[in-house]
């Protein structure tokens, strides 16, 4: 940074307000000087806001009458170097105000101006007296803890905290301490634990993948690790991370929301032998802030986190990993609409480190980049160890009698798997009892009053619920239109399938896993470990497509995917193919071979035929050709301008005016379609329209947006509607 003339020291501050500009302030009258990247508390109209100093220009010109900042909150900037530069890039790319982007990157307490929290890690170890006394101790929790400390100390509290087997450890520790048998100490997070479990010997493919990643160490080096489920991708990450740690650098691993299981964390901790920091939506605000601070201070050496972990500061970064890189949960759907995988690539480039994108079903975007040679492309074609790939059977259900959507053949297949003491997963991506309530006399169906959508039947057929706005009401006794009593639940969701399976297989446990049964984050894990590995049936939605290992799962039965074969969304085939392969990949992971039974009315559908004959790779090749022919991503770049209002004319009027601004700015380089109704034109009482922007060149798309957005912001209608811009939208 260049030396700053204190007299000229006007601060340019990014504030979390929806205005595309920075704000000037004089430095604080007293207190520490503000540096670029430090938070400040400033007056803003009648309010006080927390912002970030983003520049201190040498020659600010005449700033006019300015207010001074009220307080400088950081003596060391929170945003420095690479992170600040990458977030500036993100603000330009999403065309969002820098202040809002910076606020999004921070955990709540830091966003609201609280100081960086204390990150000292405490742990426990036995005293001399404790080591001598241990054999004489009575059985119980204190003795259990003492034995653990005898084997592995100092043991960080964070690890006891995460360990379901260590419940009540705090009381046990206090008991030991009160008798002088154990003591609390400060733990160095980078210090290895005494127990490090070695992993399996890598096979040739894995070793080649590890070598390729390590060969790129110290420079930006994107690698697509394209390996079937169970092929040992996680082992590859672990080896690359261990190498990164041995070079004294930090590693960040992004995982989908539902992939961050206690099993995965335990595996990382045991194998790497150091504290693994986490960041996910189940943490308290305080815990999130502590992880952020530990990263900034370089105390966190390995972090595993979901989408927003991509914003963690990594002053000593050595490696980024994005597991299940195709996963939809990496895209933020409101506020700053970033894609965590894409931003991880930007950060890896700015940091000059390798980034590994792993998936059994890579996104077409990443496959295209690999094909074009922009990414290294490593393939693991076989399951690691002895596990066999599952055999797939298609069950044609045309003209067959169905029980809650399941054919006699499918039920027989389930029966046989249970006979052989296996576990069965029945996959149906529709929660609730039934998708539709219909009057058999007049054709009336239950629609949400605030959305253009049918209400789903829940509660065993007693309740109606809208999955889009949350509206609920009881199922009416009679048809509201004709008064008839012939109301029928049409189709089957997971609840109804569960009910039918319980009746048909009364002797085995049936457990349903969907958002209805599994609201809380840890509930999925708890349910699955209660379910154990004995004979039984799991029924569930895509929540079951990954996470928690189910080694005894021998049959995956897929029911009711036919809607997905005929969706209007150009990404629907990709999403369906990924889901099918992911769910199928759950069968037969360990030594028991697995079977996948796919029930459909369209056994000859090209998507299914291609997937069955050639796997995901064959599907992706064909799908990419179709995307190219149709001018869709990854061969075109899209942005979506959405608007919603109580009256559709307002939303459309705004988009019409925006369209004119864009047409002028684009000079022919943009294709515009719309305003058109959104896929669900009315939701929660709002009319929703959209304008799609498409361009063959990324640069042209952004140039047009840069030129047009100031005018769009200034449109009189811009204040009358709720509108937003989504660059690289995923749901059109």
Residues in the chain: 732
Stretch that binds ligand ADP, among 18-26, 78-86, 197-205, 447-455 (CB under 6 A): 197-205
Helices and strands in the chain, H and E counts: 20, 30
Residue 203 as a binder of ligand ADP (CB under 6 A): the answer is: yes
Tell whether residue 442 is among the known ligand binding residues: yes
Which of positions 441-480 make contact with Zn ion (CB under 5 A)? Answer: 441-442, 444, 448, 450-451, 466, 468-469, 471, 479
482 is in an annotated binding site: yes
- Report the half-sphere exposure of 93 (CA within 13 A, side-chain side): 18
User: What's the rounded Cα separation, in Å, for the pair 323 and 342?
Assistant: 13
Binding residue per annotation — 466? yes
Contact set for ligand ADP, span 92-131 (CB under 6 A): none
466 binds, among ligand ADP, Zn ion, none (CB under 5 to 8 A by kind): Zn ion
Which stretch in 16-24, 229-237, 644-652, 688-696 sits in contact with ligand ADP by CB under 6 A?
229-237
**Of 385 and 614, which has the nearer Cβ to ligand ADP?**
385
Instruction: Supply 66's token pair.
Output: 């300015």
**Residue 439 counted as an annotated binding residue:** yes
Which listed residue (13, 106, 182, 202) binds ligand ADP by CB under 6 A?
A: 202
- Of 158, 151, 159, 161, the C-alpha closest to 126 is 151
Taking the least distance from each CB to Zn ion, the nearer of 177 and 442 is 442
661 has binding-site annotation: no
Q: Does 436 bind Zn ion (CB under 5 A)?
A: no
For tokens 């046990």, the residue is 172
The answer to whether residue 544 forms part of the interface with ligand ADP (CB under 6 A) is no
CB-based contacts of 480, cutoff 8 Å, min separation 6:
444
Q: Report the nearest approach of ligand ADP to the CB of residue 584 (Å).
A: 13
244 is in an annotated binding site: no
User: Residue 221, SS3?
Assistant: strand
Alpha-carbon dihedral 447, 453, 454, 459, rounded to 10 degrees: -100
Task: Name which of 226 and 574 has its Cβ closer to ligand ADP.
Answer: 226
Residue nearer to Zn ion on the CB measure, 468 or 504: 468
Please choose which of ligand ADP, Zn ion, none residue 442 contacts, taking the beta carbon within 5 to 8 angstroms, the exact cut-off set by kind: Zn ion
Contact between residue 704 and residue 666 where contact means Cβ atoms under 8 Å apart: yes
State yes or no: residue 200 binds ligand ADP (CB under 6 A).
Answer: yes
Contact positions with Zn ion (CB under 5 A) in 268-297: none
190 binds, among ligand ADP, Zn ion, none (CB under 5 to 8 A by kind): none
| Closer of 154 and 390 to ligand ADP (Cβ) | 390
Kindly determine how many residues on this chain lie close enough to bind ligand ADP according to the rule CB under 6 A.
Answer: 15
The answer to whether residue 164 forms part of the interface with ligand ADP (CB under 6 A) is: no
Please state whether the peptide bond connecting residue 18 to the residue before it is cis, i.e. omega within 30 degrees of 0: no
3-state secondary structure (DSSP) of residue 690 = strand
Q: How far is CA 14 from CA 34, 78, 98, 254, 702, in A?
A: 13, 14, 6, 28, 22
Judged by CB under 5 A, which stretch of 3-11, 379-387, 438-446, 657-665 contacts Zn ion? Answer: 438-446
Alpha carbons 523 and 547: distance in angstroms, whole number:
13
CB of 236 to ligand ADP, least distance (A): 7
Distance of alpha carbon 274 from alpha carbon 277, whole angstroms: 10
Query: Would you give the DSSP letter of residue 442?
Result: T
- Residue 384 interacting partner from Zn ion, ligand ADP, none (CB closer than 5 to 8 Å by kind): ligand ADP
φ, ψ of residue 240 to 5 degrees: the values are -65, -35
Instruction: For residue 196, give the nearest of 273, 249, 120 by alpha carbon.
Output: 273
Residue 487 touching Zn ion (CB under 5 A): no
For residue 469, say whether it is annotated as part of any ligand binding site: yes
* End-to-end C-alpha distance for the chain, whole angstroms: 44
| Contact positions vs ligand ADP (CB under 6 A) | 200-203, 206, 227, 229-235, 384-385
């Amino acid at each position: 940074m260049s030396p700053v003339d204190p007299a000229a020291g006007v601060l340019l501050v990014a504030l979390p307000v929806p205005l595309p500009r920075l704000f000037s302030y004089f430095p604080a009258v007293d207190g520490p000087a503000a540096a670029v990247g430090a938070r400040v508390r400033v007056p803003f109209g009648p309010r006080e806001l927390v912002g970030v100093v983003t520049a201190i220009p040498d020659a600010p010109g005449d700033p006019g009458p300015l207010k001074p900042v009220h307080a400088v909150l950081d003596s060391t900037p929170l945003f420095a170097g690479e992170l600040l530069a990458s977030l500036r890039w993100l603000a330009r790319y999403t065309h969002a105000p820098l202040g809002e982007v910076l606020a999004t990157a921070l955990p709540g307490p830091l966003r609201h101006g609280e100081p960086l929290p204390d990150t000292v890690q405490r742990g426990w170890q036995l005293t001399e007296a404790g080591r001598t006394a241990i054999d004489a101790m009575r059985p119980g929790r204190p003795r259990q803890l003492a034995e653990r400390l005898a084997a592995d100390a100092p043991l960080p509290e964070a690890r006891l905290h995460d360990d379901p087997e260590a419940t009540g450890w705090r009381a046990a520790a206090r008991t030991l301490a009160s008798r002088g048998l154990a003591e609390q100490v400060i733990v160095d997070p980078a210090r290895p634990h005494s127990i490090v479990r070695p992993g399996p010997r890598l096979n040739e493919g894995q070793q080649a993948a590890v070598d390729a990643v390590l060969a790129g160490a110290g420079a930006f080096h994107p690698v697509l690790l394209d390996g079937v489920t169970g092929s040992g991708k996680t082992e590859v990450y672990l080896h690359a991370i261990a190498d990164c740690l041995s070079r004294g650098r930090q590693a960040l691993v992004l995982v989908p929301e539902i992939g961050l299981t206690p099993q995965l964390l335990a595996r990382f901790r045991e194998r790497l032998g150091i504290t693994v920091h986490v960041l996910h939506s189940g943490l308290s605000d305080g815990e999130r802030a502590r992880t952020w601070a530990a990263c900034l201070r370089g105390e966190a050496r390995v972090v595993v986190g979901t989408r927003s972990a991509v914003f963690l500061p990594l002053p000593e970064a050595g490696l980024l990993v994005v597991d299940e890189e195709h996963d939809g949960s990496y895209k933020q759907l409101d506020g700053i609409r970033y894609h965590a995988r894409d931003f991880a690539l930007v950060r890896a480039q700015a940091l000059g480190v390798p980034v590994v994108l792993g998936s059994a079903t890579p996104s077409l975007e990443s496959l295209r980049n690999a094909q074009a040679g922009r990414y290294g492309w490593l393939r693991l074609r076989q399951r690691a160890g002895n596990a066999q790939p599952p055999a797939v059977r298609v069950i044609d259900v045309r003209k067959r009698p169905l029980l809650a959507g399941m054919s006699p053949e499918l039920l027989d297949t389930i029966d046989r798997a249970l006979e052989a003491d296996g576990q069965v997963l029945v996959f149906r991506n529709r929660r609730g009892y039934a998708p539709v309530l219909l009057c058999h006399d007049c054709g009336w169906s239950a629609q949400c009053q605030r959305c253009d959508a049918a209400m789903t039947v829940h509660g065993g057929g007693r309740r109606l619920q809208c999955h889009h706005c949350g509206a609920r009401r009881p199922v009416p006794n009679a048809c509201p239109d004709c008064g008839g009593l012939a109301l029928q639940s049409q189709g089957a969701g997971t609840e109804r399938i569960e009910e039918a399976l319980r009746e048909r297989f009364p002797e085995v446990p049936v457990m349903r896993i969907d958002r209805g049964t599994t609201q809380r984050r840890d509930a999925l894990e708890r349910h699955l470990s209660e379910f154990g590995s004995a004979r039984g049936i799991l029924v569930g939605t895509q929540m079951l497509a990954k996470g928690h290992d189910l080694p005894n799962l021998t049959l995956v039965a897929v029911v009711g995917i036919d809607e997905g074969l005929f969706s209007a969304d150009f990404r629907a085939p990709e999403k369906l193919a990924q889901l099918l392969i992911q769910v199928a990949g759950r069968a037969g992971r360990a030594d028991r071979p697995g079977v996948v039974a796919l029930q459909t009315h369209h056994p000859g559908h090209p998507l299914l035929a291609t997937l069955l004959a050639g796997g995901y790779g064959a599907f992706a090749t064909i799908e990419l050709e179709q995307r190219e022919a149709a001018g869709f991503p990854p061969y075109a770049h899209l942005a979506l301008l959405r608007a919603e209002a109580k009256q559709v004319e307002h939303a459309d009027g705004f988009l019409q005016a925006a369209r004119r601004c864009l047409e002028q700015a684009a000079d022919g380089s943009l294709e515009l379609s719309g305003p058109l109704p959104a896929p669900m034109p009315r939701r929660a009482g709002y009319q929703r329209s959209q304008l799609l922007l498409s361009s063959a060149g990324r640069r042209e798309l952004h140039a047009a947006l840069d030129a047009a957005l100031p005018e769009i912001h200034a449109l009189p209608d811009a204040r009358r509607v709720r509108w937003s811009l989504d660059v690289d939208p995923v749901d059109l």
